[in-house]
Amino acid sequence: MRIEELKFEQKASQRIYNDYMRRIIKATASLSKNNQEDIYMEFNSHIFEAVQHNKEKNEIDALLDITEKLGAPEEVLKPLVADKKLEQATQTFNPIHVFKALILNFTNGISYIFFFVLYLFLFGFVFLIFAKIFNPSLVGLYVKKDSFSPFILGMLSPESQFSYQVTEVLGNWFIPIMLLSIILFYFLITLLLKFKKSINQKTHL
């Protein structure tokens, strides 16, 4: 952080302040540097103004009062960090940011649980690609021999294939189709998240 720290006359006050600001840094560690600094500056400003406006109070008392009003950074910043991470994910399309955003927003509504399940499907496609590479004869899209309705997407032993009377229909196209599915799923999830965020912003207006 390049932001200048506040200086206090009493050592105890300085320790309280330093500890509180460290908790803010820790709570916002997953965000971009700009977002971290914005949040840090905002809290720093609140503390500075509160202490300046309460000169008649003991320095420690004034500092404790404002930090108590601001609340524990770990709890107060949780929804803000989740929202900022979601904004970052929808802007960058970075899969790591998307995953972190979903984790942070997991408790913010059933829609995010739905997005998280979709993301698990995406990882399932990745797993199937590697499984196909190492077990090409066992992994694929299996359908009933007398119909084209999908039966299973995954791994089946030769015995199970015979028992269920299924055949693998994608062959060498399995990996390309899985790669295409990953790309489509990923952009669908990210676009839906962006749409969800725009709805959230409208409801807060």
Please give the Cα distance from 86 to 74 (Å, whole number): 18
| DSSP state letter for 94 | -
Phi and psi at 191, nearest 5°, equal -65, -40
| DSSP state letter for 201 | H
Q: Which residues contact 81 (CB under 8 A, 6 or more apart)?
A: 27, 28, 30, 31, 104
Between residues 103 and 138, the one the model is more confident about:
138
Residue where the block lists tokens 């669908």 = 188
Residue 185 has pLDDT above 90, yes or no: no
The least confident of 84-93, 112-121, 194-203 is 194-203
Domain assignments of the chain as residue spans, ordered by start: 11-76, 85-204
Please give the Cα distance from 15 to 26 (Å, whole number): 16
Between residues 23 and 59, the one the model is more confident about:
23
Please give the Cα distance from 164 to 97 (Å, whole number): 41
Within 10 Å of residue 81's Cβ, how many Cβ atoms?
24
Between residues 117 and 38, the one the model is more confident about:
38
Between residues 32 and 41, the one the model is more confident about:
41
**In this predicted model, what pLDDT tens digit does every residue of 87-112 receive, in sequence order?**
777 777 677 777 777 777 766 667 77
Indicate the average pLDDT of the chain. Answer: 84
Residue 24 has pLDDT above 60, yes or no: yes
